[in-house]
Structures are given as structure tokens and as C-alpha cells.
Structure 1
């Protein structure tokens, strides 16, 4: 049934779950509590529900219009002559529409149902291997897509073995498979699958890009994604919502990349933790879907949970051009909706910005570093490979030549974008200027090809410039907009594009993109999928298993690392990615940049504690960072603070994340210190937060905190999420 007659219901008490149906025989779709139970999710109908809420503040009338197929409240209407219930912002609507357990209170644990899954090959093998361990016969979400866009440069058989494994896995379990060279996952997903109102969970931190179309898109570790794909839903700490009002319009030579760099300038790489950034205001309508995608993609660099734009006329036009107009539903915040925090960005006052080495948060105006000699310019990646991005570069370089000191590469985001720049002439302009055109994959963004010279500036339109991410130890990578990168390529030094004079007029392509999904392989029907043989090469190795949390942890401190250590320091990019499906081999390079002896020391000592600073584990969602620690015998990590996804990955693998009660104690810790932490299991089980690390030498005790949500405690006690779910299944 496509529609239902409006139901009139009453809700007795504001503290009860909404809506509680007391009359009528067609209740609205509401995903059930997914704690320890699988549930194949079905598409609910589109309907309206009217209700009266009786509480201490009197009676309120409320009517929700639910926007099919994802149960997201589109609008809240007041009853005639009655007070309207509290308005919701868009993020709250999306969370409400997918809430299966918990309350939308920032900091509290909530369970969310998942509509779509995004997996890419670098994290995909571990995701797939752990999905197989769940013992289910087929995925239990409406859509899952496997993209091969990272490990595509074969120098031996490892990557090909991985591709064959992932393709056969996808066919066996009902996952769509995007073939190598078809494009970067986030661009293809935005083009072909992202839908307003849906919830996407991606095994890649930049999955947030799909928030550009009014989708709730969240990055997570591979095990969390595997568990959600099996139908258990996704657990997360309820985020705060930051309302970012965009005013005005971007001036010439200023691009969407400068908007997100401005937010990074304000918040740094830690300031967005535990937050969803929702964009509002008159300036929103001036940004195309791809420009919004640039902002949403890089929101994760703030440490944010995700970002979302309203689904508006720009969204409808985008989906129509993609042949997906039926996926459109208007979604926006209610009038007078409240936010936990607010921010204002006047687009008209922005100028070209650039992130200096070695952090996306190290942002300054381009004019401050203008004149810095450069040897390489790379344009592309999952954040700046759209037609509009490449067309600006083509316009700057048309009838010009790349400076003799510069090596320049350009990467289109997808085959669709490659086709568009080819038909529109941009491709020829770039090639004629001396740009090297790369296939539509991640490539140099994750250190696969185009490694720069050590100590010499490389200017890139990418989303991260962590030390060594480019594939070169001692790299000096700057992050900027395509316009700034084009000006730099032309002049041979970092250049403010405004010095080039009037900006070129770049308009959308005069034709709709060619829609060709032949490189996305649909899975066979279930009865045929049963006969698919999964192909495993020699480098496809099952992950290590966690152990139930011990009562006492008595170990040496293996290493003390600084603030903002990234998961790339624990599971390196570049050539190291070919080892990500084999944790014993991958673990050999954990902290290799900080301490080449770390791996051997961990094996010799039989494990130990890792001690870190703020934002430990920032960046990529790669759970190989947690799995490598698990393999090396690490059972607890102590830091000043943790990045969200890595913290979740540690817990999922049974590793206890602890923080210093007094951050000053970090300075007292030295490699080789012998610590004993007692009553660990008892404290975690009872919900106590205080623990003490005692030194064997009788030195000063260090107070620690174990701040954990209820489910996190249960997972740690069991020895990781796989064992937790196994125990839950046996107890049913």
C-alpha cells in the first residue's frame, strides 16, 4: 500500500515512545530495538499521523507527514487553534526516523536502523571477513555497495587476490560491486544511490559526503558496518547538532573547499567531535550538490559525526539529471527549529584558504604563503573531482602551459565525470596544458602513485595531509581549492587565484551526464547466490580474535605518542594497503614512523599499553589500526582523548580505551614503565569510571577514567563485538 489514511491517536505521557497507537489498525513503521537481534528492514509506506500529547505542560496537537520510504518526518503541522509541538531541525528528523532504541539526548547511547551500506576495498576485506563470521546467509539492509577504488595499482598479486575475494563475496551475500576504475566510492554513491531521508553507514570516514542530498551519512569501522549489514543496526553516542547559517554568496575565485577550510580554521581537527553540522540559511541555495558534497566530505576532518544539507530544489535538479527524480523528497528543518550550537559563515566574506603541512586544521589565507615554490600539483580525490572543480582548472589553463617546475596530475571522480569533461572539452584543455590524466580512483590521495619529493611542497586539492600519507616520509603537502591549485600550477609557486584577474565563467555542463551503470555489477538472486564460490587468495587472512576483559591488566608501556596521531600511523597508506587484509603483516608497520622498533618490542614483551595524547586515532576509519594493536597484545590504550571512529573500533575489537583523569599525568609516562591496573572487569561491569594505574616501582599512581556507554561495557566484557553478538544469540 503506497498511502494510508491519516490515523488519529493519543499519546499518554510525554515520556513514552512516540507514537503509541491506541486506535487504528495500521501503525506507522518503526524499526524495532536491535539490541542483539537481527531484523531484515522493509520499506515502510508514506503516511500521516495525527496525535495529541498530554503532559504536565498541557495538551499539544501534532501531525507528522512521513516521507516514505525512510519514515522521516518531513513537516510538523499545528492543529487548528492548538499549540504546535516543538520544532525539529533536519538532523533530529533524520535521527528520529531511524531511531530504534534510546532517546535523542546528546551523549546518550542510541541505536539506528540502516538503509544503505558503503564499503570500499581497502577496508572491505576485513569488513567482509567479519561479516562471514556472523554466520548470516545474506545482507539484511535494502542496499549495500562494494567499491574498488583504493588498491588498484598492482605490483604483485595481492590486490588482484583482494578484488577477486570482494567480487565473489559481494555476489554470494547480495552486495553490488563497483569494478576497479569505475570511480571513487563517494562520487559514485552520490551519483547513483544517495537518497534524501535515508541513513548511510560507510566503512570509510568520508562517507559523510552523501549528506549533500539530505541523507544522514556516517563513517564507521568495518566491524560496525558488517554488523549493521547483517541487520543489527548501528549504535552511536547521540550527537549535538550545530546549525551553520550560510549567508551571502561565494565571490569570484572562492570555492566550496574554502568554506570547509574556514570551518577547519575555526574548529581545528578536534572541535567538531560528537557533533552533526547542519547547513541552513540563504547561502545554501547558491551551492550545487557537488559543492555541498565537498563540504560534507571534509566535515570528518573536524572530528564531526557527519554533516547534512537540506534536500531542496538544487537536490531535485541533481537527482533529475541523474535519472532519479523519484528518489527526491523535500527535507529541511522546521521553522524556528533549535540547535545545540550555532555558527554563521558569510560566504561573501571568504577568501582563498590553504591548509599547511601537516594537518587539515593548519589553515591560513593563501596570501600568507603565496610565493612558496612548488614542485607538484595534484587535483582530484574524493573531495574535489567533480565536473565544476575540473572545469575551473581547465578554464585557468586553457591555452596556457603548466609551469616548467611543476608536475601536475588530474583525477576525475568517476567515469560519469570523465565522460562529461571529455564531451565538454575540459579534458583536452587539461591535457594540452600538460596535466597528466589519471584514472578515476583514489590514487595519490592515499599514497598510491605520485609520491612527492621529501621536503618539497606539493599542492593538492585533497582532504588530508597527515605526515607520510602521500607515500613519502618527510612530505610537505598543502591542501587547497581547485582554483588555488590551478593558479599554482600556472605560476610554479603557491598563488592566490585572485591575482589572475577576473575569474572565468564556469557554468554547469550544457548536457545531462551519461548514465551508464554497467560497471556496477548487481548480485545474483538469493537462490543463485547460494552456489557462488568465494575466492580467497593467500593474503586474505581472518582477523585476530579479542579476549574477554581481564580483571587485572599488568603490562609495560610500549610507546608514548603525541597529540593527533592518525590511524595512518598505525596502518600506513600507500603500498602498505596491500597488507590490510593480512593483519600479522600489516602490524609490522604499526607506528613505524614514530618508532621502527615498536612491532618487535610488542611481540617480545607479549603486548602492553599504548599511551597517546589528544585526538588519538584521528582520520581514516581503517580498523586495521585497532586490529594490529589487538594482534600485538594490546588490551588497553590510555590517551588524553580519542577520535570517535577509532575509539569505536577499539571497543569493537575488545580493547579498552581509557583517558587520563588529569591530563598533566601524560607527561609523567615513559616507555617501559610497568603498570598494574586492578579491578578492571569489576569496574567496567558495574559502570564505575575510576581506575588507577600503579607503578611496579612504587611511583606515583595515575588516575584513569573508563567512560563507557552501556553497550560498550557489554562488548568489552565479552571480548569484542563478534563475541558479544555470539553470546546474545546463544542466550535467546
Structure 2
């Protein structure tokens, strides 16, 4: 009899096309579905074009427009037109601007238990709430998946988290994932799949699970998996898609590589203080902190109950004069459901500003807070400056905490607020039948018509840069040295100034590292070939491959770090940037910005794994290593995966 398997292992085994599923080994997985959004999708479609693909070879591929919705000038509109034309040309679904954030919308309309999903957004893992193996990756991985190529990644450990008990009143799924971050930090899930199981699941809806799975990305996890059970069946039934349901769960007595347990009944409202998702404390410890802004919504709290909970707490009340109360609906369908239930009226009466369905403030596209004021958000990330305000102070919390605080004007424990105002625990169940909306989803053209489509490229859409092979010897200065946990938001900023140039690599390169050192783009352009030195968990956060490609455009050829976040490490290799790790993390202190480093006989030493760096400025040598598989190494030496494919 076969050994009992975890659900994650079953999903991997059923999609494995090569490699051995042993932790740390490289494996290749068949991809059933892909997801792209407009902040990363324009580059994906340019890569699809560069690959010479005729038509998508997946079961389903969907392009969402949810990030760059503000049309202050022509740039974002040009991107949207380009994406629509690319979908028509290559056989993808197109979700129009305002239809909704990719993750909850994909869950509603396309998510299927047991399928694999590769997405050019780090929060693609949210679809694990339906029993999918959903992995956020760089754009080029998605382009290759659209072309029918397997997704290659390092086989993760399986981390089982057993849930028991039931969430108390005014405590919600957001507090579950904040508890995970409090315990394990932003790198606790690196090279792991988190699989939730146990009796506590019975009290969590599919959208509750979405909240937890979504922010698994903040733990650095490869993805998060939940079983497909009665809660998933009920969700798909409400969406008119019960026929897509398949029951999936771990085998009885399945063992996990790592184990943890959370008693849901013991949880309390939590908040992540500025400026890291793992800077978590109980709300009661920080209660009374003045706030100037509250934002409810985003892919991290996208469900009907998240907005309904906020409406229940502000009903019949007015938010504090000092607070800007913003609501970001996450899909047009959920907005209709909330309106029919009367919750939108309650939010409006309380002073809420209802924005269009999309990401918006989550990636700094509007809703930037005032300098010196605390912004309380139900978002997944609070990295420095991500909000669009350079010196921001963003806190992350549940919708319950956000709504109570919006009324009082200070950070408030929702349990105490409810007790003071005698608010009973509300029924937050979503409608049995959702207001299914398919009208803003445009299906693929027939193959015969698609072949005649021309890509629409406005002036702001550049081509992909040409990347030369990695030389056998590198001698170059370290232009910038970062600390630990530097995010891709700090390497390639989000926000209303930079995001409109996502399709224009030379222009976007002018923003590279400016959150850390405003002089970097100028110095890099003047210097050419150079190094960057990073601390631990370098490149955490968003999957945006722009953080690799713009630095490469400016001459970056190698990054030496204590350790790398998974997706950024992949993106660096995809564009021919060598990701090296200090063999002894203490050697990080032996390199300073401005030092000249030398790497010699690279082609031979990389293949043998016997590489050392010479700090010519200090005349010191120290060993460095890499985790490049033969396939990844071949791509780096060729200058990236696209040049390698062209070569072949």
C-alpha cells in the first residue's frame, strides 16, 4: 500500500513532468491555467511575442486589468489596449478594467480544484483556497507556461498547519495569517508549501481561506493549499459552477515535513505595525494610536463578509472627522452583492468613499496617505513607500479592526468597540447565489480570426532589451549595498509615478532602487557593469520581474546576498543576472558599497560550484555559492532564458 500523501504532494505528483519530488531538487510541473495582471502582463505579452507563440496552449489563460486603473494620461490606456490586442492575438481571456482584482475574480469564474495555476503576481497563491496548486512566479515563467512549457521550481517542503477551534466574535481570517507572520516572520515559509488541515477548517468559508492563502506570500511560501471540501462546494455552487467541484484532501495519517498548530478560539485581533508584515502585535497593545486613513479591500480581504463586517460596525455611525475612510471593492460581482444586501448604503452613510473594483491603493495607485499620519489597511503589504508616500506609516489589520478604528479615529480593538456600542455578532454569510457577472470577461477569438490580429503598441510600449551572455570574468564595483528583507517595491517601486512605465523598460529603469538611493540609476548608467550586495531574504514581496530586468538594463550582472526570496531569484536568472550567496553569511560585512569585486573563470567555476570572489579594494577573498540547476545555469550564461531559447 502506498504511503499516505499530503494534498500538496498529490497535486505535485499529478502534474509532475520531470524531476524527483524531493525537497530541494528542481522539478517541472504541467501548468493548467495562467493568470496575468496589467502591471506585469504587458511584459509577459512582449515575452510571448518574443517566443514566437501562435496560440496559448493552456486550458485557461486570463489577463486581468486591475492595477493601473487610473488614467491620468494616455499611458495606462495604451497598456490596456495592448493587452486586449494580445489576448485577441494569442487566445487568452481578457478581464476589462473595473471588473475586479485578479485573485478573487479568478476564484469566482475560473478556479477549479485540482488544477495548477501559474501567475505573474505573487498573490496567485490565493487560489490555493479552492484546492488548487497556485504559484506566483516571474512573468517569463508565465509566458513559457502559456507556450506549453513546464513550470520549473525547487521542490518545497510541505508545512502542515493544523487548525482547531472556532474564531471568536470580531476575530477573522486576517488574524489567522497575522498570527502566522507573528510566529514565523516574512521568510518563515521560504521553499515551503503551507497546507492547512484539521477540524478548525469547518468554520472557514472559501473566501476566508482566500485571505489566509493570499498572505502566505508574505511568509515567503511557494504557495498555500487548502482541501476542497463542503466549503469549496458551497462557494462554487453560489457561482453557478458546482460541476467544477472535486473533493480533494490529504490522506489520513499523511505526515508533513514541518508541523504547526493554531487554536482559532485562542486568537485575538492583531495588527502589523509599520513597516513590515511580520511586525505583528495584538491590537490592544497599540490601541489608542491616532490614525488618519482607513482602507478596506484589496486581494488580501476580498470577500463579501470582509466588507459586510465593516458595514456592520459603522452602521448608523459616522467615521471620525480626522479619518479618510476608503473602500476598494474587489470585484464588480461582489459590489453588486453588497449593494443588494444594503451594505454599500451603510458604508456610504458612514462616510466611506467607494472606489472602482481594483487594487488601487494596495500598490500606490491613489489613496496615498498624508506624511506623518498612520494609515490602517486590510492590505497584504506595508513595505516602506509602497503606499505612494515616501515616509508612510502603514498598518495591516482585519476589516473589523479597520472599521472600528475608522469610527473612533484611533486604533481600536473591535471587541471592545462592539461591546461598548452593544453590537451583536452579525450574520456575514454571503448570498447562496452570487450576482454572477461574465459580461466584462471577453473570451478568446477563434484561431482563424486570432491569426489576423495585430498587436496595438502605443509610444510608451518599448521592446525587450537585448541581453548579452555572461562573460567569463567580471570586474566591477558594488554600486549599492542593502540590508535584510529588501523588497521588490524598494528595487522597482510601485505607485502612480512609476507604474505607468511598466511597458517602457528604459524609462522605468530611472526609478530602480530610488527608494534606497536616488543616485543609483544615474551612477549605474554611467558605470555600466556592476554588482549589488544584499542581506537576507533579498527581493521579497511582489513577483514583478521589472526589479530584475531594469537593473539588468542598467548593467547589473551579479547580486551577492545572504539569501534570496524565491521569485526574485528566479527573475534574476531569467534575465542573465547571477544570484550568488555568501558561503559564510558573516562575509557580508567584508564588502562595502564602492568596493571593486572580481569573479574569474566563471564558466568553469560555476559548473563546478567552486566559486570565490576577490574584493580587490581590500585584497581579500571569500567563497560564494549558488543554487543554480544545470538548466538555470545555462540560461544565466546565455544572458537569460529568451536568448537561450533563441539560441536553440
Using the size of structure 2 for normalisation, the TM-score is 0.98
> What is the aligned partner in structure 1 of residue 545 from structure 2?
623
State the alpha-carbon separation in 2 of the partners of residues 461 and 695 from structure 1. Answer: 45
Q: Does 1:170 align with 2:87?
A: yes
Matches within 5 A, 1:542-553: 542-553=463-474
1:668 offset after TM fit, Å? 2.2
Q: Does 1:516 align with 2:433?
A: no
- Which of 428, 445, 451 is residue 362 of structure 2 equivalent to? 445
1:136 offset after TM fit, Å? 1.6
Given that 2:334 and 2:435 are in contact with CA atoms closer than 8 Å, whether structure 1 keeps it comes out as: no
> What is the aligned partner in structure 1 of residue 487 from structure 2?
566
1:549 offset after TM fit, Å? 2.0
- Which of 606, 615, 627 is residue 695 of structure 1 equivalent to? 615
- Which of 446, 449, 468 is residue 528 of structure 1 equivalent to? 449
1:689 offset after TM fit, Å? 2.2
Q: Secondary structure at the match of 1:129?
A: helix
State the alpha-carbon separation in 1 of the partners of residues 67 and 424 from structure 2. Answer: 34
1:513 offset after TM fit, Å? 1.0
Q: Secondary structure at the match of 1:343?
A: strand
> What is the aligned partner in structure 2 of residue 723 from structure 1?
643
**Residues 436-495 of structure 1 deviation map (CA, whole Å, 9 limit, x = unaligned):** 101111011110111001121110000000000000000000000000001100110000
Q: Secondary structure at the match of 2:129?
A: helix
**Residues 126-185 of structure 1 deviation map (CA, whole Å, 9 limit, x = unaligned):** 100011000121111111000000111011110011000000000000000000000000
Stretch deviating more after TM superposition (595-604 or 106-115): 595-604
Matches within 5 A, 1:191-206: 191-206=108-123
Q: Secondary structure at the match of 1:331?
A: coil
Matches within 5 A, 1:292-331: 292-331=209-248
Matches within 5 A, 1:435-474: 435-474=352-391
1:508 offset after TM fit, Å? 1.4
**Residues 558-577 of structure 1 deviation map (CA, whole Å, 9 limit, x = unaligned):** 11111111111121111211
Any gaps of 5 or more consecutive residues in structure 2?
A: none
**Residues 104-124 of structure 1 deviation map (CA, whole Å, 9 limit, x = unaligned):** 100000000000000000001
Matches within 5 A, 1:180-579: 180-500=97-417, 501=419, 503-575=424-496, 576-579=498-501
Runs (4+) off by over 6 Å: none
Higher alpha-carbon Rg: 1
Q: Does 1:650 align with 2:572?
A: yes
Given that 2:485 and 2:539 are in contact with CA atoms closer than 8 Å, whether structure 1 keeps it comes out as: yes
> What is the aligned partner in structure 2 of residue 79 from structure 1?
none
> What is the aligned partner in structure 1 of residue 14 from structure 2?
97
Q: Does 1:149 align with 2:66?
A: yes
1:698 offset after TM fit, Å? 5.4
> What is the aligned partner in structure 1 of residue 625 from structure 2?
705
Q: Secondary structure at the match of 1:554?
A: strand
State the alpha-carbon separation in 2 of the partners of residues 516 and 593 from structure 1. Answer: 40
Given that 2:175 and 2:269 are in contact with CA atoms closer than 8 Å, whether structure 1 keeps it comes out as: yes
State the alpha-carbon separation in 2 of the partners of residues 541 and 144 from structure 1. Answer: 24
**Residues 622-661 of structure 1 deviation map (CA, whole Å, 9 limit, x = unaligned):** 0000001110111111011100000000001111000111
1:702 offset after TM fit, Å? 2.4
1:358 offset after TM fit, Å? 0.5
Report how many aligned residue pairs link the two structures.
643
Residues 1:503 and 1:673: Cα distance change in structure 2 (over 3 Å): farther
State the alpha-carbon separation in 2 of the partners of residues 330 and 513 from structure 1. Answer: 22
1:209 offset after TM fit, Å? 0.6
- Which of 78, 92, 99 is residue 161 of structure 1 equivalent to? 78
> What is the aligned partner in structure 2 of residue 70 from structure 1?
none
**Residues 302-331 of structure 1 deviation map (CA, whole Å, 9 limit, x = unaligned):** 000000100001111111110111100000
1:511 offset after TM fit, Å? 4.6
Given that 1:253 and 1:503 are in contact with CA atoms closer than 8 Å, whether structure 2 keeps it comes out as: no
Q: Secondary structure at the match of 1:538?
A: coil
1:531 offset after TM fit, Å? 1.1
1:510 offset after TM fit, Å? 4.3
State the alpha-carbon separation in 2 of the partners of residues 165 and 545 from structure 1. Answer: 21
1:726 offset after TM fit, Å? 2.6
Using the size of structure 1 for normalisation, the TM-score is 0.87
State the alpha-carbon separation in 2 of the partners of residues 697 and 463 from structure 1. Answer: 42
Q: Does 1:678 align with 2:595?
A: no
> What is the aligned partner in structure 2 of residue 63 from structure 1?
none
Q: CA RMSD, aligned part only?
A: 1.0
State the alpha-carbon separation in 2 of the partners of residues 252 and 170 from structure 1. Answer: 45
State the alpha-carbon separation in 1 of the partners of residues 450 and 60 from structure 2. Answer: 16
State the alpha-carbon separation in 1 of the partners of residues 411 and 162 from structure 2. Answer: 31
Given that 1:396 and 1:504 are in contact with CA atoms closer than 8 Å, whether structure 2 keeps it comes out as: no
Any gaps of 5 or more consecutive residues in structure 1?
A: 1-83
